[in-house]
C-alpha cells in the first residue's frame, strides 16, 4: 500500500526562531559596524572578529550533523520506540533501487528514500514502485547541485519548492523531510525549510558506501553501537561498485538487516516516526 501522507501542515509560525549562533552573529555584525563608525581605530579588531565569526558559520555548515544553524534531526524521537530508520539517498537508480526494494520486501521492512526530484521524474514508474511498496519518499533537492550550500535564499527556495511540487505530483504524497546534498548547508537554509514546513534530516551514522568498495568496512561503520533511534545513511544512487561491478550497498544491506533483527530493532520510515515540523507550533 502507498505510504500514508503526513497530516496537513499547520501554517508556519510567522517568525522564524533564530538559532542562538545566528542571533549572536547578527549582533556581532551590528556591533562591529557601530564600533568602526564611532572609533575607526577599532576597525581591524572588528574585521578580525567578523572573520572568526564567518569561519565558525562555515565550519557549522560543513558539519552535516550540526544543529547550530537550525533544527537538525539526527535521531528518531523517543516515541518511535525500538526503531531505526534506513535511509537511501540520490536515487532512484534503475539498476540499484529495484534490487534494494527486493531485499527490503523479502525482509518485510520499510525504508525512506531521499530522492533527487529530476532523477525521480526520469524514473517515475520506479518511484511509484517505491511508494506502492510502503516506503517513504522525501526531498533531496531538485538537481543535487554541487554548489547547493552556496545558493542564496531565493534560489534555495526555488530548488526545494520545485522538488516538493515534483515529488508530490509523482507520488501523491508531499515530503515533510529534506536532506541537503552531501549534508552541506548555509545559514540561509533553515528559514527556507521553516517556511516550507520541512524537517532537516541528517543521520546518526553513515557507511560511506559511495566511496568505500569494502562491504565489511561499510557495514562496520553503520552497525557500530547500533541502537534504537538511529538514522542510517546509505545510497541507492551514486553507489560505489566493487571489483565485480556490483554496488557495495547490495552486499551490505542483507547483513545490516540481520544486525537490526538481532538487536530487536524495527526499521521505520520517517513518515511513521516524525510528525510534521509545525505540528506542535
Asked if 107 and 256 touch (Cβ cutoff 8 Å), the reply is no
How many angstroms separate the Cα of 177 from the Cα of each of 121, 209, 220, 244, 275?
Answer: 19, 22, 27, 35, 10
- Of the residues 176, 235, 236, 251, only one is catalytic, namely 235
Is 214 marked active-site?
Answer: no
What's the rounded Cα separation, in Å, for the pair 178 and 125?
A: 22
Q: How far apart are CA 65 and CA 72, in angstroms?
A: 7
Q: Any catalytic annotation for residue 235?
A: yes
Q: Which of 89, 93, 190, 230 is catalytic?
A: 89
Q: What distance in Å separates the CA atoms of residue 107 and residue 95, rounded to the nearest whole number?
A: 20
Q: Which residues are catalytic?
A: 89, 235
Amino acid at each position: 500500500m502507498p505510504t500514508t501522507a503526513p497530516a496537513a501542515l499547520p501554517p508556519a509560525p510567522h517568525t522564524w526562531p533564530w538559532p542562538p549562533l545566528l542571533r549572536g552573529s547578527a549582533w556581532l555584525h551590528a556591533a562591529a559596524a557601530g564600533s568602526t563608525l564611532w572609533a575607526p581605530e577599532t576597525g581591524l579588531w572588528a574585521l578580525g572578529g567578523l572573520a572568526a565569526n564567518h569561519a565558525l558559520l562555515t565550519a557549522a555548515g560543513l558539519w552535516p550533523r550540526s544543529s547550530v544553524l537550525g533544527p537538525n534531526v539526527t535521531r528518531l524521537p523517543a516515541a518511535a520506540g525500538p526503531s531505526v530508520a534506513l535511509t537511501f539517498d540520490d536515487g532512484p537508480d534503475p539498476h540499484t533501487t529495484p534490487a534494494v526494494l527486493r531485499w527490503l520486501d523479502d525482509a518485510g521492512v520499510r525504508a525512506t528514500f531521499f530522492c533527487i526530484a529530476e532523477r525521480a521524474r526520469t524514473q517515475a514508474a520506479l518511484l511509484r514502485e517505491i511508494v506502492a511498496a510502503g516506503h517513504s519518499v522525501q526531498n533531496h533537492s531538485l538537481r543535487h547541485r554541487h554548489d547547493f550550500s552556496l545558493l542564496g535564499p531565493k534560489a534555495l527556495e526555488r530548488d526545494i519548492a520545485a522538488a516538493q511540487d515534483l515529488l508530490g505530483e509523482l507520488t501523491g504524497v508531499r515530503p515533510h523531510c529534506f536532506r541537503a546534498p552531501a549534508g552541506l548547508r548555509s545559514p540561509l537554509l533553515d528559514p527556507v525549510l521553516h517556511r516550507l514546513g520541512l524537517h532537516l534530516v541528517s543521520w546518526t551514522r553513515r557507511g560511506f558506501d559511495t566511496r568505500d568498495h569494502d562491504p565489511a568496512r561499510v557495514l562496520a561503520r553503520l552497525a557500530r553501537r547500533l541502537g534504537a533511534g538511529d538514522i542510517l545513511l546509505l545510497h541507492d544512487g551514486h553507489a560505489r561498485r566493487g571489483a565485480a561491478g556490483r554496488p557495495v550497498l547490495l552486499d551490505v544491506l542483507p547483513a545490516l538487516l540481520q544486525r537490526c533483527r538481532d538487536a530487536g530493532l524495527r526499521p521505520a520510515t520517517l513518515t511513521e516516526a516524525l510528525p510534521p515540523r509545525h505540528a506542535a507550533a
